[in-house]
Amino acid sequence: MGLGKVYLVGAGPGDPKLITVRGLEAIRRSDAIVYDRLAGPQLLGEARPDAEKVYVGKRPDRHTMKQEDINQLLVDLALQGKTVCRLKGGDPTVFGRVGEEAELLRRYGIAYEIIPGITSAIAVPAYAGIPVTHRDMASSFSVITGHESPDKLDKSIYWDKVTNATGTLLFLMGVAKIGYISEQLIKHGRPPETPVALVRWGTRAEQATLTGTLADIERKVKETGFEPPAVIVVGEVVRQRETLRWIENKPLFGWRVLVTRARSQASELSGKIDELGGEPYEFPVIETRLPQDPATIGRIEAALRDAESYDWVVLTSVNGVEYFFKWLYACSVDVRRFHRASFAAVGPKTAEALKERGILPDVLPEKFQAEDLLASLKDKLRPGQKALLPRGDLARKLLPDELRAMGLTAVELDVYETAMAAAKDEILPELLKEGGIHVVTFTSSSTVTNFMAALRQSGIEDPPALLRGAEIACIGPVTARTAEEHGLKVTIMAETATLDGLVAAMVERRRELLKQAAYDPKAGGV
């Protein structure tokens, strides 16, 4: 077995989209991911399903693994012939101890690459509306460790030189020493009224900013219980925050929103959440697939061969459209053979999927449930007509039952199956326990059922109790009823059963909570 290779990757400050393209490529190609708590947890979802994941991060109350042991772990994994990604928060060369890891790898003759990341020293202040330089305020900046004890700080920092060497001073990991840092800066020439900002968990949903001056910042930290990790910014540039703060003005800022849709569909909802300042966290609990049962396949083939006999083709979801056309292709059936049929669609997205395939639906109800489609079809249906319903295996029986009651022949085709996704996420249960998920979204009844099952499989005995502190958002009344049947309290429901409707409902709920002063900006959630 040959030697493996190690990528020493900077994950950026927390927002998973701030990782570099090269860093993302390293995650995706690695056999093992060695990560710490400052690396965005969603980045682990980019790893291969079979990749080994090893947590080596440090917390204030305990050290999970000593640095020497981390160094050796990287060597051991590479000696097994594995490609390893050492994922670090921020940039690995800025207080990331990458030199120690690379040195040991070189000693063993193991190939490695150092992949820079966006350092929190610059990114975190930027997300708080604080540029580290400004033409009129600061033309230079210094990045300084604040993590050491006071006696070590005095040995590693030349306060008399550092204090006024640059316009902006950036201290990383120094919240616990803020009083001593302020004292030294004042002692060596910085005015007591110099602005100071502490930005905690910058670029994440928990981002919180505390401002003050060198004279009063320690008192404010104690009074508010402000905790690490945070970047400390000292200098006149802090004044820019009042006019340049941007992400905090977005309507979903402060909310980490769990997206439970199928992986193939999650990106659309995640993108809408991200654009509005929320932090999407994808945990797909369903997946769709072609049926494998020979009898089901036989029924589909027979129904499609009889294309000329249908008066109606009724489609109730985007998946229904996609899989219907997949079967037409698989069975070599030309869609033009449905020339007798009128097409009906439930919802604008379903209609859009049809239009992309050159078909304009003849019936599109104003609302987006089976009941509304039936109301729209009522004056157009005639006894003796034949309707084809390509849909999923979990679709409600209301539509075919009502069509049959009206004297039509309703041919139900399970053109796709909905199954529980094999989602594995070691971090999500902890996030839920800590209140780190602020909203859970459900876009179908199956996402509710599978999500609750996934929580139980992960060892959570009482999922409804765990979710009590989160907002429960449902795309429509059918999904909401399913959530309530599982013991959840639905607090957000879309007025129109679309993703845009769901997002709009979340924005309205967020606005409502802010008005009620029920929102805690320090915690980032309700």
Q: Are 207 and 524 in contact (CB under 8 A)?
A: yes
Q: How far apart are CA 7 and CA 52, in angstroms?
A: 15
CA atoms within 13 A on the CB side of 312: 28
Nearest in space to 474 (alpha carbons), one of 402, 395, 369, 346: 369
Q: Which residues contact 433 (CB under 8 A, 6 or more apart)?
A: 466
The residue annotated as part of the active site, out of 31, 36, 274, 425, is 36
Closest CA to 290 of 389, 396, 443, 419: 419
The C-alpha atoms of residue 224 and residue 210 are separated, in whole angstroms, by 9
Pairing of strands 52-55, 471-474: unpaired
Helix (H, G, I), strand (E, B) or coil at 287: strand
Q: How far apart are CA 231 and CA 202, in angstroms?
A: 8
Q: How big is the chain by its Cα radius of gyration, in Å?
A: 28
**C-alpha closest to that of 182 among 152, 224, 153, 141:** 153
**What phi and psi, each to the nearest 5 degrees, are found at residue 388?**
-105, 130
Rounded CA separation 148/173 (Å): 9
- 17 assigned to active site: no
b/e 9-20 (16+ beta carbons within 10 angstroms → b): bbbbbbbbebbb
Give yes or no: 522 in active site.
Answer: no
21-58 burial, b at 16+ Cβ within 10 Å, e below that, comes to: eebbbbbeebbbbbbbebbbbbbbbbbeeebeebebbe
Query: Which residues are CB-neighbours of 378 under 8 A, at least 6 positions away?
Result: none
Answer for the pair 507, 515: CB distance below 8 angstroms, yes or no. Answer: no
Residue 445 CA to residue 203 CA, distance in Å, equals: 32
Rounded to 5°, angle at Cα 468 from 508 and 498: 40
Tell me how far apart the alpha carbons of residues 373 and 396 are, in angstroms, rounded to a whole number.
Answer: 13
Catalytic status, residue 61: no
Q: What is the four-CA torsion angle of 374, 377, 378, 381, rounded to 10 degrees?
A: -120
Residue for token pair 């993302």 = 24
Considering the candidates 53, 58, 220, 424, report the single residue annotated as catalytic.
Answer: 58
* 302/412 Cα distance (integer angstroms): 12
Q: What is the set of active-site residues?
A: 36, 58, 173
